[in-house]
Amino acid sequence: MSTTKPSIVVKARLRNFGNGILEVDDAAIKFFVETGRLRKHRETIRNIPIAEVDSLERQENDLSLTWKENNDVFAVAETSKVPEIHERISEGLKQREKPAENVAPETPKPIDNTKQLVQEMTFTIEVSNSLFKILEQLNGRVNWKLVELAYQQVDQATTKLRSLGTNFTFLELNPISAALQQRNPKDIADRSLDALRAVYKHFNYDETAPTEIPTQNRPNRQDLKLLVQAFYVWNDLKLGALVSDKDYEKEAAELLKLLAELAKQPTSKINMDAIETSYEKLSLGKDRQKEGLEALKAILELRREDLLQLVSNASPETPQPN
DSSP string, 168-204: GTT---HHHHHHHHTT-HHHHHHHHHHHHHHHHHHTS
Q: What distance in Å separates the CA atoms of residue 297 and residue 290, rounded to the nearest whole number?
A: 11
pLDDT given at position 208? 40
> What's the pLDDT score for residue 296?
87
Is the pLDDT at 27 greater than 50? The verdict is: yes
Rounded to two decimals, the pTM is: 0.59
Rounded-to-integer distance, Cα 274 and Cα 259, Å: 11
What are the backbone dihedrals phi and psi of residue 258, each rounded to the nearest 5 degrees, phi first?
-65, -40
Q: What is the structure's pLDDT at 41?
A: 62
CA-to-CA distance for 315 and 40, rounded, in angstroms?
Answer: 36
User: What is the separation of C-alpha 300 from the centre of its chain, rounded to a whole number of angstroms?
Assistant: 19
Identify the CA nearest to 172 among candidates 198, 211, 148: 198
- The answer for residues whose C-beta is within 8 angstroms of residue 57's C-beta and 6 or more apart is 63, 64
End-to-end CA distance of the chain: 38
Amino acid at 242: L
Kindly report the CA angle at 123 between 118 and 126, in degrees rounded to 5? Answer: 130
pLDDT of residue 75: 94
What pLDDT score was predicted for residue 11? 92
Q: What pLDDT, in 10s, does the model give residues 157-204? A: 888 888 876 566 667 788 888 888 888 888 888 888 888 888 777 766
Q: Report the pLDDT averaged over residues 210-232.
A: 64
- The ranges assigned to domains in the chain are 8-97, 114-312
Predicted local confidence at residue 141, as pLDDT: 86
More confident: 305 or 312:
305
Q: What distance in Å separates the CA atoms of residue 291 and residue 259, rounded to the nearest whole number?
A: 17
How far is it, in rounded angstroms, from Cα 262 to Cα 301?
12
Neighbours of 57 (CB within 10 A): 12
- The H-assigned helical ranges of the chain are 82-97, 114-137, 144-162, 174-181, 185-202, 221-243, 248-264, 272-281, 286-312
Residue 111's pLDDT band (boundaries 50, 70, 90)? very low
* pLDDT tens string 225-284: 888 888 888 888 888 777 777 777 888 888 888 888 888 877 777 778 888 888 888 777
In the predicted structure, residue 301 carries a pLDDT above the cut 80: yes
CB 27 within 8 Å of CB 49:
yes
Q: What is the mean pLDDT of the chain?
A: 78
Q: What is the CATH number of domain 8-97?
A: 2.30.29.30
DSSP state of 79: G
**Distance between CA 179 and CA 135 in Å, rounded?**
13
Can you give the pLDDT at residue 28?
86
